[in-house]
Amino acid sequence: MHIHIPAVGRTLEAELRRKVDRKTKPPGSLGRLEELALQLGLIQGTLSPRILAPHILVCAGDHGAAKAGVSAYPQDVTWQMVENFLAGGAAINALAHTAGVELVVADAGVAHDFGPCPNLVDAKVSASGTANYLDGPAMSTEQCAQAMANGARVARDLAVRGCNAIGFGEMGIGNTASASLLTHCLTGAPLVEVVGRGTGLDDAGLARKHALLEQALAAWPERSGEPLDVLARFGGFEIAMLAGAMLAAAEGGMVLVIDGFIVTAALLVAARLAPAILDYCVFAHRSGEPGHAVQLAHLGTRPLLDLGLRLGEGTGAALAFPLLGAACAFVNEMASFESAGVSDKS
Ligand SMILES: O=C(O)c1ccc[n+]([C@@H]2O[C@H](COP(=O)([O-])O)[C@@H](O)[C@H]2O)c1
Ligand SMILES: Cc1cc2nc[nH]c2cc1C
């Protein structure tokens, strides 16, 4: 994938800040919404930012390592939840609906034949999910590139449909284990700090997951620090697809709304390939999965919400979208001290 992501221009910064500061409120009193408005204005290169045709892209994939026992749930939950998304019965359906955000669900490599399914984006790289990284690479270099290209295609299609903000979500039993390995390799944080209970492992399950992931690292003695090598070795098809979608979305000047631990692992890969992508990212929430805090600290960022969510599916991103709308609304709709005839600080 050839991607060029320019850093967001800052020429409008002073003017945007002045516009925000002249609104009928004490300076800074809209808190994080003011920073958000500024960021959205700079991404869009305008004094009047707007969120248009927002979407959540949920990428789903299966993991060979799931069968080794890294999750509390069986692998079949991945395809069953994809069918639940398509039927409208999952948390992300309810939260996207209440936020006024359209949902797009993509099969990045789920080990299930969905048959003809008009509402599912077919981006299946393998009919059986990734290989088990305990035995070798999770995917080939070609499969990794294919999954990333599929993500880029979907992001570009959304742009053509008038969308200028994408929230990213995922579904994949075993993908917190994959995200832990990616995070360890790409941030240098000790494995123990980035391995968590995922969907709900008990203490014994967590110890087993940690031991398996140590084993996975030991099985790759010639370990490379290159982000695409790490992605192919330990990633999932949904994670690679997300990384590609994020890169293309930022290249297209869109706003990227980042969900939890797995989505942020995909961003770690993308940010190593194109560091300026971070200018386009709004971090929706802090997941309850402990490694997410490590990722956020590594990226030097602070999320908008901290609700103890650890579901994935893009649920944190869906919850953050109304805040993006609120940031645009106050910049575009509020009066200024001058226009409203309100006295400023003496
Ligand atoms: O987004 C998060 O931070 C998050 C944290 C824990 C679990 N999840 C979801 O749970 C699944 C992965 O959990 P696990 O235990 O199977 O690795 C996957 O479908 C994710 O969407 C998601
Ligand atoms: C039921 C269920 C729903 C999910 N959504 C995202 N990950 C999930 C994992 C499980 C187990």
> Which of the ligands is closest to the CA of residue 289?
1
> What are the start-end ranges of the H helices in the chain?
13-21, 32-44, 76-87, 91-99, 141-160, 175-187, 191-194, 203-218, 227-234, 237-251, 261-273, 291-299, 315-333, 337-340
Q: What are phi and psi of 47, to 5 degrees?
A: -85, -10
169 vs 54, 71, 178, 241, 264, CA distance in Å?
A: 13, 19, 15, 11, 10
Mutating to test ligand 2, I would choose from 56, 58, 71, 77 the residue with most ligand atoms within 8 A of its C-beta, which is 77
Domains contained in the chain, CATH given = 55-326 (3.40.50.10210)
Best of 56, 175, 213, 287 to mutate for ligand 1, by most ligand atoms within 8 A of CB? Answer: 175
Q: Distance, CA 215 to ligand 2 centroid (Å)? A: 26
* Cβ contact 268:295 at 8 Å: yes
Is residue 164 in contact with ligand 1, taking CB distance under 6 Å? no
SS3 call for 274 = coil
Q: What is the pLDDT of residues 203-226, one digit of tens each?
A: 999 999 999 999 999 999 999 999
| Beta bridge pairs of residue 257 | 167, 282
pLDDT of residue 346: 84
Per-residue pLDDT of the chain (346 residues; tens, 9 = 90+): 788 999 999 999 999 999 999 999 999 999 999 999 999 999 999 999 999 999 999 999 999 999 999 999 999 999 999 999 999 999 999 999 999 999 999 999 999 999 999 999 999 999 999 999 999 999 999 999 999 999 999 999 999 999 999 999 999 999 999 999 999 999 999 999 999 999 999 999 999 999 999 999 999 999 999 999 999 999 999 999 999 999 999 999 999 999 999 999 999 999 999 999 999 999 999 999 999 999 999 999 999 999 999 999 999 999 999 999 999 999 999 999 999 999 999 8
The pLDDT value given to residue 111 = 98
What residues form DSSP beta bridges with 60? 107, 171
Give the Å distance between the CA of 205 and the centre of ligand 2.
17
* Count of C-beta atoms within a 10 Å radius of residue 250: 27
ipTM score of the complex?
0.99
Q: Of 256, 262, 266, 259, whose CA–CA distance to 307 is shortest?
A: 259
β-strands 165-171, 255-258 pairing: parallel
What residues are annotated to the active site?
313
